[in-house]
Amino acid sequence: QAADSKREQFRQYLEKSGVLDMLTKVLVALYEEPEKPDSALDFLKHHLGASAPENPEVEALRLEVAEMKEKYEAVLEENKKLKTKVKVY
């Protein structure tokens, strides 16, 4: 009975957190695929957002964000200096 109780609590936890709903949707999408993918696991990973972190697009975007942050900091510094100059005049 204790094992059944633990199982039920875990099931309720998964249901409450939306995991069961998400898994159901992804499995239904896989079921409805006209041409089944070679790897069902890769299909699940892709649709659950667990694709490889080495994704080149993601890495390129991270680099772009880092560059933009540097440019932003430089512009802020330049703005500060220009404000100081304007106060002098």
Contact 29, 47 (CB under 8 A): yes
Please tell me the predicted confidence (pLDDT) of residue 17: 93
Contact 19, 32 (CB under 8 A): no
Q: What pTM did the predictor assign?
A: 0.50
Please tell me the predicted confidence (pLDDT) of residue 65: 94
Q: Could you tell me the two tokens for 31?
A: 């079921």
- Decide: residue 47, CB within 10 A, 0-12 exposed, 13-18 middle, 19+ buried: middle
Spans of the chain below 50 pLDDT: none
Please tell me the predicted confidence (pLDDT) of residue 45: 86
> Cα separation of 29 and 21, whole Å?
12
